[in-house]
C-alpha cells in the first residue's frame, strides 16, 4: 500500500502514527502545540524520532469533550497542514468528525481521514473519502460486542458499499470509546484475532484511561481507576499522562506481536524504539 510517496506493508510491520493535537483541551497535551509554528516544530521532531504518519486534530475526542464549530477547527488545523506539507512529504492524517474539515484538510495536503465515528459515519464524510480517494480510518466507537472482528468487518463494509475502495480502509477497534475497562482489556487480548479481519488495524491506546487504571493515577489523582461503565476523562493533566508511557509501550509491543498495522501514540521516540527491539528479537 502506498500513501503519498511512502510504501506501507501492514502485514509485515507495525508503523507509528504520531499524535499532534492542535487543541486547548486534550487530556495529554492540550494547549502545548496550538500555534502553527509550535505544532509544525513538534511534528518535525516526531518525524525525526521515527514517526511514519502525523495525525493532526483540532478538536479533542477525550471522553466528555465539547464539540467545536467547523470554522474553529479549520482555523486550527489547516495552517498546520499547509505549513507541514511545505516542509515534509510524510503522510498526514486529519483527525475529525466533520466532513467539511476533512475535505479542506485533504485539499491542504492531508492523505488520511481519521474519524472516531466509524459506525455512525455520515454520508457527507463517505462522499469526501470516496471522491478524494483518501485513505480512511474508521473507529468502532461503541461498546464491545461478541464476534468483535465481524463487527469491524461490518463497519468497513458500509464504506465499501458506499463506494470507498476496500484497499483504502483502516479499522480501529476504538479503545476508550464507549467501552468499559473490561471491554478494553478484552479487545487488547483479542488483537491476534482482530488483525485477521482483512483490513489494516490501527490501535490507539496511548495514555488512555485503561492504562492509568493499572499503572498510574487516574484523571482525579487517585491510584484507583473506574470500576465499570464507559471510561471517563477530565481536563488536561500532562503530569498524569506521562506516567502512562510504560503502559503504552506494553500495548505497543502487544500490537506488534499481534500484527497491528499502525499504533497511534503521543511519545513517538519511545514507541519506535520499543518496536525496533521487538523486531530485533523476532528476527533473530
DSSP alpha helix (H) spans, the chain = 36-48, 70-87, 99-108, 123-132, 148-161, 181-189, 191-194, 209-215, 238-242, 245-258, 268-283
Q: Which of 179, 208, 237, 244 is catalytic?
A: 208
Contacting residues for 21 by C-beta, under 8 A, at least 6 apart: 28, 29, 30, 32, 33, 57, 60
Strand partners, 169: 136
Whose CA is closest to 260, among 187, 154, 158? 187
Q: What is the pLDDT of residue 64?
A: 60
Determine whether 207 is an active site residue: no
Return d(Cα 171, Cα 257) in angstroms, integer: 18
Summarize the confidence of residues 242-267 as an average pLDDT.
96
Q: Which of 98, 168, 236, 264 is catalytic?
A: 264
Q: What is the pLDDT of residue 32?
A: 57
> How distant is the alpha carbon of residue 137 from its chain centre?
8
Contacting residues for 282 by C-beta, under 8 A, at least 6 apart: none
Summarize the confidence of residues 246-271 as an average pLDDT.
97
Angle at 111 between CA 121 and CA 38, to 5 degrees: 105
Residue 115 phi/psi, 5-degree rounding, is -115, 130
Domain ranges of the chain: 2-283
CATH H-level, domain 2-283: superfamily: Dihydropteroate synthase-like (3.20.20.20)
CB 41 within 8 A of CB 22: no
Q: Is the pLDDT of residue 197 over 80?
A: yes
Determine whether 2 is an active site residue: no
Residue 263, helix vs strand vs coil: strand
Residue 175 phi/psi, 5-degree rounding, is -55, 130
Tell me the whole-structure pTM to 2 decimals. Answer: 0.90
CB 160 within 8 A of CB 128: no
Q: Is the pLDDT of residue 232 over 60?
A: no
- pLDDT band at 171, cuts 50/70/90? very high
Q: Is the pLDDT of residue 205 over 90?
A: yes
Q: What is the pLDDT of residue 233?
A: 43
- Average of per-residue pLDDT values in the chain: 90
Q: Is the pLDDT of residue 17 over 80?
A: yes
Summarize the confidence of residues 129-152 as an average pLDDT.
97
Summarize the confidence of residues 29-56 as an average pLDDT.
87
- pLDDT band at 8, cuts 50/70/90? very high
Summarize the confidence of residues 80-105 as an average pLDDT.
98
Amino acid at each position: 500500500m502506498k500513501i503519498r510517496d511512502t510504501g506501507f506493508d501492514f502485514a509485515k510491520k507495525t508503523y507509528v502514527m504520531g499524535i499532534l493535537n492542535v487543541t486547548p483541551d486534550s487530556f495529554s497535551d492540550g494547549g502545548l502545540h496550538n500555534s502553527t509554528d509550535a505544532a509544525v516544530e513538534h511534528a518535525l521532531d516526531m518525524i525525526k524520532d521515527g514517526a511514519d504518519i502525523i495525525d493532526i486534530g483540532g478538536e479533542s475526542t477525550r471522553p466528555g469533550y465539547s464539540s467545536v464549530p467547523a470554522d474553529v477547527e479549520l482555523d486550527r488545523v489547516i495552517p498546520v497542514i499547509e505549513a507541514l506539507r511545505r516542509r515534509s512529504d510524510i503522510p498526514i492524517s486529519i483527525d475529525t468528525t466533520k466532513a467539511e474539515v476533512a475535505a479542506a484538510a485533504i485539499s491542504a495536503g492531508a492523505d488520511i481521514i481519521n474519524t472516531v465515528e466509524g459506525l455512525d459515519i455520515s454520508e457527507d464524510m463517505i462522499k469526501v473519502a470516496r471522491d478524494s480517494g483518501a485513505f480512511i480510518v474508521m473507529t468502532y466507537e461503541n461498546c464491545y460486542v461478541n464476534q468483535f472482528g465481524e463487527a469491524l468487518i461490518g463497519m468497513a463494509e458500509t464504506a465499501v458499499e458506499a463506494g470507498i475502495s476496500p484497499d483504502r480502509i483502516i479499522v480501529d477497534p476504538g479503545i476508550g470509546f464507549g467501552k468499559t475497562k473490561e471491554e478494553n482489556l478484552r479487545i487488547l487480548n483479542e488483537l491476534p484475532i482482530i488483525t485477521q479481519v482483512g483490513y489494516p488495524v490501527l490501535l490507539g491506546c496511548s495514555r488512555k484511561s485503561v492504562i492509568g487504571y493499572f499503572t498510574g493515577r487516574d484523571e482525579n489523582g487517585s491510584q484507583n481507576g473506574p470500576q465499570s461503565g464507559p471510561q471517563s476523562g477530565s481536563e488536561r493533566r500532562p503530569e498524569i499522562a506521562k506516567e502512562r508511557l510504560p503502559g503504552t509501550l506494553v500495548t505497543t509491543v502487544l500490537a506488534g506481536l499481534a500484527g497491528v498495522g499502525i499504533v497511534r501514540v503521543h511519545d513517538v521516540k519511545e514507541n519506535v524504539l520499543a518496536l525496533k527491539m521487538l523486531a530485533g528479537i523476532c528476527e533473530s
